Structure 1
Amino acid sequence: MPRFFVPRVELGENFLVLTGENAAHARVLRLKNGDAVTVCDGEGEEWHCVVSDVAPGQVSLVVQEHTAAKSEAAVFCSVYMAFAKADKFEHVIQKATELGAAELVAFPSARCVSRPDERSLAKKLERWQKIAASAAEQSGRGRIPQVLALPSYEAALQRAAQAELAVCFYENEEQRTFRAAIESAPFRTAALLTGPEGGLERSEVEQAQRVGLQICTLGSRILRCETAPLCALSALMYAAGEF
């Protein structure tokens, strides 16, 4: 069924109108009167509708049912990834959205090669948010994950530590497994933090531990910086009963 994202302020209870890019997309799909579509507010709610009129530049819909999105995970998971080279974070945004992440957060750390300035970061954030929106639409999500960039590693730690399950992954950790962290206590919110291409420095890991993050291993193999967050997110969703 075709799925469209519309800002909550533009949604009515009984009638909706698709305009702009949504109307153009509807035209590409060749929607006609009587076709069923789903409209989402990007925040976890959706409206099941039927097309009532197709006109140049707009498509009118009649609301049949308004419900919470069934495709959203019970766990609100934020993925924290240090700035990476090239389009690696873009890959993580797309795939993590498909897997059910609620937020994607980028941050600088000591070994980051990529350090975008304020101007380029603003452009990147705009592009990253569009990637999240496109992936949410493609995968049938009811929420568009928010993509954020924090100014410092300290800010990332402080924010991540607010989650009920907050984990920092470190390749030299040999004892604490992610499974043990997941099974230690019930949780509804989670934060998964991974480093850049060169990994986190030992002092950064100790800093994460001091603010309350659990330090865990993702196994005996060294994972690429774009693989680690997706591996952790997949394991979390499996443990939460999403798969």
Structure 2
Amino acid sequence: MPRLYLDQPLATGSEFDLPEQAARHVQVLRLQPGDALGLFNGQGGEYLATVLEMGKRHVKVAITSHLAEERESPLAMTLVQALSATERMDYTVQKATELGYSEIHIVQSAFCGYKLAADRVEKRVAHWAAVAAAAAEQCGRTRVPLIRPPQRFDQWLASAPAADLKLLLSPIGAVGLDALPGKAESVQILVGPEGGFSADEEAAAVAAGFTALVLGPRLFRTETVAPVVGALLQARYGDFRR
């Protein structure tokens, strides 16, 4: 059954036309009146709906029931990702969503090779949000990760929220996975750009309570780190243990 994310209030018994992009998706799938689909808005659970009308420019649906379904991990993971090129950022956001990250914070660090003009920030954040929503539709999540607009790394670090575990991915990390604590309910993961964080940035992160972590003898591309670490942490603390 197709699943669609809608950024709007949803309620059992309501009938409405789908937004243009969602309607186009339903038309591409060639659904017909009477066909079922799932809807969710990130507020918890998902809704079962039925197609009522298929027009050339509109698709009308009716919500028939609500399922109190949650597929979120007990581990609250926040990814703090240094800005990278368009395709790499899209991949990072997509896979972070699939792996269960609850928030994605974008930072501009010293060695970022990709710069984002101020007048493009809003558009890019909206694009990343759409990538996350599409990934949530595909993987079955009923909530979409919150994506924070880019800010300088030092600014983010100065106002970083609390977490049980704070990890700085570094090829010269001081500890491996076996050294991490046995329990954690929240974790922040700092991932640098292709060139890594600068020595000053790493020192500032460690001073702020982050533990430098090395995964092994091989280096990963920046877009590979978030899914690898997310999978390892879900297996250790989250819902991969089931």
Q: TM-score, normalised by structure 1?
A: 0.86
1:135-214 matches, cutoff 5 A:
135-174=135-174, 176-181=175-180, 183-187=181-185, 189-214=186-211
Contact 1:161 1:211 in 2 (8 A): no
Contact 1:167 1:193 in 2 (8 A): yes
| Counterpart code for 1:67 | A
1:18-33 matches, cutoff 5 A:
18-19=17-18, 20-33=20-33
- In structure 2, what is the Cα distance between the partners aligned to 1:34 and 1:159? 50
Two-structure CA RMSD over aligned residues (Å) = 2.2
Aligned to 2:53: 54
Aligned to 1:241: 239
* Deviation of 1:195 (Å): 0.8
- In structure 1, what is the Cα distance between the partners aligned to 2:225 and 2:151? 22
* Deviation of 1:242 (Å): 2.3
Q: Percent identity?
A: 27
Q: Which moved more, 1:136-145 or 1:30-39?
A: 30-39
Contact 2:11 2:63 in 1 (8 A): no
| Counterpart code for 1:222 | L
Contact 2:121 2:150 in 1 (8 A): no
| Counterpart code for 2:187 | A
For structure 2, the residue ranges without an aligned partner over 5 or more in a row are: none
Aligned to 1:226: 223
Structure 1 residues 120, 60: CA separation in 2 closer, same or farther (over 3 Å shift)? closer
* Deviation of 1:161 (Å): 4.5
- In structure 2, what is the Cα distance between the partners aligned to 1:142 and 1:159? 29
- In structure 2, what is the Cα distance between the partners aligned to 1:93 and 1:153? 18
- In structure 2, what is the Cα distance between the partners aligned to 1:59 and 1:199? 49
* Deviation of 1:211 (Å): 1.4
* Deviation of 1:214 (Å): 1.9
Contact 1:160 1:166 in 2 (8 A): no
Contact 2:12 2:64 in 1 (8 A): yes
Aligned to 2:223, the other structure's residue is in SS state: coil
Contact 2:136 2:143 in 1 (8 A): yes
* Deviation of 1:18 (Å): 4.2
Contact 2:47 2:63 in 1 (8 A): no
- In structure 2, what is the Cα distance between the partners aligned to 1:159 and 1:192? 15
Aligned to 2:104, the other structure's residue is in SS state: strand
1:216 aligns with 2:213: yes
For structure 1, the residue ranges without an aligned partner over 5 or more in a row are: none
* Deviation of 1:148 (Å): 1.9
Contact 2:82 2:192 in 1 (8 A): yes
* Deviation of 1:159 (Å): 4.9
Contact 1:163 1:191 in 2 (8 A): yes
- In structure 1, what is the Cα distance between the partners aligned to 2:168 and 2:66? 41
Structure 1 residues 114, 24: CA separation in 2 closer, same or farther (over 3 Å shift)? closer
